[in-house]
Every structure is written in structure tokens, then in C-alpha cells.
A and B are shown apart, each in its own frame.
Chain A
């Protein structure tokens, strides 16, 4: 196999918000089966694939996780005329939703809808100066109210509709690159890992419900209790107007996070691996617990050595999230080398302070 880019494109156009990741899971599970004998789905819906390492006795256990869910909306009310009001499940900026095409997932199948907007002809100048809150937006199914009530139920989920656009320099744009890019990294890592002999047992995990509070990570972290838990998640691509320490260049390699809630020895090792293998990387600093699965991993059960890596993407939480496949490959190289070199001596050292 060349790489997983086509698969990423497929994943990006697959729909799966917090708590209904089934369609994404159906794409991911067969892919994991090509690398792992055992692939399980837990009570929450997390996918856990185990690839055993080589060697007798106690082997290092490393968990590598990317969340499957994307930010989504949920039907909260059906209004007169059959228009839908929605609530957040994940953090949309309502300003990016105006005029957006979306898919309403009903038990009878998917329906296309448009987020309505008032034409400029009818909008007073002072109205144009204000952003509409989510509660003012509505979804238009272009259907009679009775037909809508027949097909749509409160609680049905809504996701963005967006094709993938291939931009210059192996950059892709579309919806849910957050965090399908990291699922691609996970698979690319396993692909590369096949060429190494590794001691570590690798738990490749696709988590659920990250966007509503790192929920899948809490339970899978507790269940697996690995020696090292690495979350793969996207970070902020450089863009005018952002603080320097919150902006990471595209095509400059993965960002490796450093901060109080991440294990500094795992961080240091990842940096060393990048340096030795000439993998470009960037360092992201956090002062508070990170907003990614690594946060939950650190305090799961008895506490885990947590790390966070990921590629920068621009326009996070919009339908045109943009990132570079080269960064995905570099991140996978980093993780594959890290895992290949992980041994029990390093694991034991993680508790030495």
C-alpha cells in the first residue's frame, strides 16, 4: 500500500458525531484488522486493536489513540413550517454555519438540509454587524412540516456536508480533518511499524465522544491502563492574528506537546526520536490540562504517562479544515520510531522522579 490518503478522504466524508460514530467505526475496523489480529469494540464504542510486541516476560504497553467523532449538531426542536432548531454537540462557531449544507441523520436515512440565512436585500445594516447565535439559526429541509415530523425526531444528529478538496502541496481541505487526520496517522504508524521489530504491545485505539468531553478516553484509559498513552489530535495551523505560541506552520512537521499534564520523559523521548531520525517537529506548550484525550488519559485509574502529538490544521471546527498529508506521514514516522524503540527500561524510568 502506498499510503492511506484515499482512506482519509473517505473518512472525511463519512459522518460520525459524538455518540454515533458507527459509520466511521465501520471504515476503521477493517483497516485495523489488516494490522491486528484482535480488534474489539467496548461498551462506549471505542475501538481497541492490539498488536503484540516481541519478547518474553513483561513488555511495554503503549496506547495510541485518535478520536473518531467530529463536531455535530442535534435536532432540539421542530418549529412551525418544519424548520429545525439545533443544539451543539461539540464546539461550532455559529458564524461558520450560516449558509452551510448539512446532513440530518434520521432513522429512515440521511436528509440534506441548508442552514438558512436572510438575503442581504432584507437585512438592515445594523443587523449585518451582528453574529447570529445558534439559537437563531434554523435548518431548512425544504419539506412540509408534516413530512418533517414524520421523518425527523428530536435527538437526530446533524453533521456538515462537505466534499474533500485537494489543494496544492498535498494539502487537503474539508470537514472533520479534526480528527480523521489522526486516524490516518494511526494507520500510517501501524503500516510503518510493520517494518520494525518492536517489544511494545501496541493498543491502537479509535476513541468516541472526544468533542463533548474526552469521554471515550476516560473509560478506555481505565480499561487498558497502558504504560504510555499517546493521544493524536490536531492543533492550530499558523494564521494571521493568532498568538505565536498557538500557531504552528503547515508542512513543518507534527507538534509535540509539553506541559504540566503531559509526561516530560515521553515528551523528551519523542523530541529525541525526531532529532535522531531527522523528522521535522514543532513544540506546543500548554499551561493547563490539554483539550485532548491525553488530558483524560493522565488521570485514568492510577494515573498514566500521557503524551500528545498531532499535525497543525487551519480553520479548526469549520467545514474547510486544511492540513498537509506530508505532516501526517512525518507524524507517523515519529510515532513508529518511538514505539519501535520503547523498552522496559524506559517504562520503569517513567516513575522515577
Chain B
């Protein structure tokens, strides 16, 4: 299953190779052209010479991860690895998690001083990242250095699985769920030029998308994202952002974008016409690649379609498979309606 493969693929920000290769394999022979740019964005093209608006779909390949920065060779820390985060990770989610280092997936664990040995006041405070280590089982620094070097990246060692009612858990649904949607969309035919940009470095500032959009100079762009969902116990309606299972979410405003209202309404009405559940994303925080794309060149019309993801940026994230399916339906409906001229530039 593509979502499982993508979710489990290794691709922290700046190290997206494995994800890119999975996608390239999926689209081989299904699009007119695939190219990588100097940043590592993968851009798939269909019908470049066709008339009509140039449409860019975007999903980022990278995920939040860790980078090994030092192999300790002191006393008690000999062979342990110091690390820093690649992208925004709350240090509170790190303790007692397994990780894989590098595409060879050297396993390691992030532990902590036993609770028994911690002073009462210590237990009240989150453990800062500087005090955490990855333990790969190395006997000493030399042993560790034989398999790991500073600069190597790591990801959470989370397996994909379906559980509950039509739900799945795994790592990095932000934004492998977008990658899966985009792969599927690129397999369909549309009567206008379609560009699928699988971008790098979203998690450190929407960087890949900015370059990709400049190259494509689209008329319309849609970012496909996994987005914040906190419809859990104790969260009031206005603190949820999105609700799991209520369909894909559309943005009115986030940290980087005030939505193009006309396009947002076009997508909303398209969902209504096609009987697809849809919801508004109800939080200002967070952003997606469209935040960078819409400001390129002379400005770009468009928006984003997001799949609600519980525990985004944490080791285990949760999505509704119905939401994923409905996001796909909505995307196809929107692309179809663009073809039918329902949205005029």
C-alpha cells in the first residue's frame, strides 16, 4: 500500500532521497516527464503543451527528524550520540522512543535517567534536547564511529498500521499523505498542463516549494498537506483546528497565507456539488507550501487541501482513511471542475 510505503520511508528534511525514489517508481511511465532540480525537488509534468491554465499540485516529501551532531567519547557518555532536531520537534515527545539513523536504518533508542534517580523537581520539567542521547548500543566512540558520523539524520522508527475504525497510525503523515494524494492525481488525465511538485525542505521554511513554483510559474496552485487535528478530550470547538473523519480541510487563514477567498469557496462548493464531506481548518498557527507558492513572481491563485492528522510532528500520527479517500475525491473533483471552466482566473 502506497501510504504505508511512503509513511515508513526515510526522508528527514534535506534527506528526502528514499521518498523521492518511491515516488519516482510509482510515476514511471505514467507522466510525460519527471525531473529533479538543483534543490532535490521532484517535478512530474503532464501535458505541458496543452492549452488552459497551468496547474501546480504540491506535496512535500520531507519530514521532521533528528541530526546526529556529536559522537561522545568521554566517560559515561562514551559511544552515545548527541543530536539536534531537523524541523520542529517538541523535545517532550522524544524520551523512550526508538529511531533509525540513516537510510541503512541503524537502530537506536532515546532513553533518559530512570525516574527513581530523578529529584522531585527534575520530574516536573521536560528534559531538554541537549540532555538526551541516542544509544545505538556502541561500546565506545570508535565503535559508534564505525557506523555513524556527525551529520547523519535520523527518523522515528514507527511502523504503519491500520487500527480502530477506518484509522491508520504511522509517522510523517505530514506530508506523506499529501505525497500519496499527489501520486494518485498525477496518474489521471487532465486537459490542461499539470505539474506535480514533490518538494524538499518544507519543514525548515517552505524552501523547496518556493524554488519549484518559481520554475513552474503556475496559474493555479494547490498544496496537499497533512494538517493539525486536535479533536480530543478537553479541546473546545475553536481549539480543535480540524475533526478527524469529517473530511478534508480547507484553509481560510494560517500563519503564512490569507486564503484566496474565491478559490477557497470554489473548492468548498465543488465538495458540496460532489457530495464530499469537507471542513474548514480552524486555527491560525501552522502553514503549508502554498504560503511560499502564492507569493512567487506576479502572485499565484490557489489554496490547499489538507488531511487532518492527530499528533502531527510526533512519533506516531493518526489519520482517518475516510479523510484520505475524501481528500482524493475532492482533489479529483476540483481538477475536473477546473477543466470544465468552473473556476475562471
Contacts and interface: CB of A to CB of B under 8 A. Distances in A.
Interface of A: 243-245, 258-261, 263-264, 283, 285, 287-289, 298-299, 301-305, 350-353
Contacts of B67: 259, 285, 287
Contact of A260 (B17, B37, B42, B201): B201
Nearest to A305: B38
10 contacts: A244-B82, A260-B15, A264-B14, A283-B151, A287-B204, A298-B39, A299-B207, A302-B37, A350-B38, A351-B38
Contacts, number: 78
A176 B82 CA distance: 33
Contacts of B35: 351
A352 B39 contact: no
A303 B214 contact: yes
Given A245-B150, A289-B204, A302-B215, A260 B13 contact: yes
A299 B37 contact: no
Contacts of A298: 39, 207, 211
A299 B211 contact: yes
Nearest to B217: A302
A35 to B, nearest CB: 27
Nearest to B12: A260
Nearest to A263: B38
B194 interface: no
Given A260-B15, A302-B215, A289 B207 contact: yes
Nearest to A222: B214
Contacts of B39: 298, 303
Nearest to B209: A299
Interface string B183-226: 00000000000000000110011011011101100000000000
A245 B82 contact: yes
A258 B151 contact: yes
A288 B39 CA distance: 15
A302 B39 CA distance: 9
B137 to A, nearest CB: 22
B36 A285 contact: no
Interface in B17-45: 17, 20, 35-42
B54 interface: no
A259 B82 contact: no
Contacts of A301: 211, 214
A248 to B, nearest CB: 13
Given A261-B201, A283-B150, A353-B42, A303 B69 contact: no
B178 to A, nearest CB: 19
B246 interface: no
B315 to A, nearest CB: 18
A59 B85 CA distance: 39
Contacts of A304: 38
Nearest to A266: B38
B256 interface: no
Given A260-B204, A261-B201, A353 B70 contact: no
A155 to B, nearest CB: 30
B301 interface: no
Contacts of A353: 17, 20, 36, 40, 42
B145 interface: no
A76 to B, nearest CB: 30
Contacts of A283: 150-151
A299 B210 contact: yes
Contacts of B207: 261, 289, 298-299
Nearest to A303: B211
A245 B69 contact: yes
A230 B22 CA distance: 31
Contacts of A245: 69-70, 82, 84, 150
A352 B38 CA distance: 8
Contacts of A243: 130
A304 B205 CA distance: 16
Given A260-B86, A288-B204, A303-B208, 12 more contacts: A244-B82, A245-B70, A259-B14, A260-B62, A260-B200, A260-B201, A263-B38, A283-B150, A285-B151, A298-B211, A305-B38, A351-B38
A285 B69 contact: yes
Contacts of B42: 353
B300 to A, nearest CB: 15
Contacts of A299: 207, 210-211
Contacts of B36: 351-353
Nearest to B201: A260
Contacts of A289: 204-205, 207
B211 A261 contact: no
A295 to B, nearest CB: 9
B293 to A, nearest CB: 12
A305 B200 CA distance: 14
Nearest to A262: B14
A4 B187 CA distance: 59
- Of A244, A285, A287, A298, most B-chain CB atoms within 10 Å: A287
Contacts of A288: 204
- Pairs of residues from A and B, 3 with the lowest C-beta to C-beta distance, nearest first: A260-B14, A303-B211, A245-B69
B38 A261 contact: no
A289 B211 CA distance: 15
Given A260-B86, A350-B38, A302 B201 contact: no
A203 B263 CA distance: 43
Contacts of B70: 244-245
A207 B77 CA distance: 43
Nearest to B14: A260
A203 B41 CA distance: 26
Interface string B73-85: 0000000001011
Nearest to A260: B14
A303 B150 contact: no
B297 to A, nearest CB: 10
Contacts of B130: 243
B14 A285 contact: no
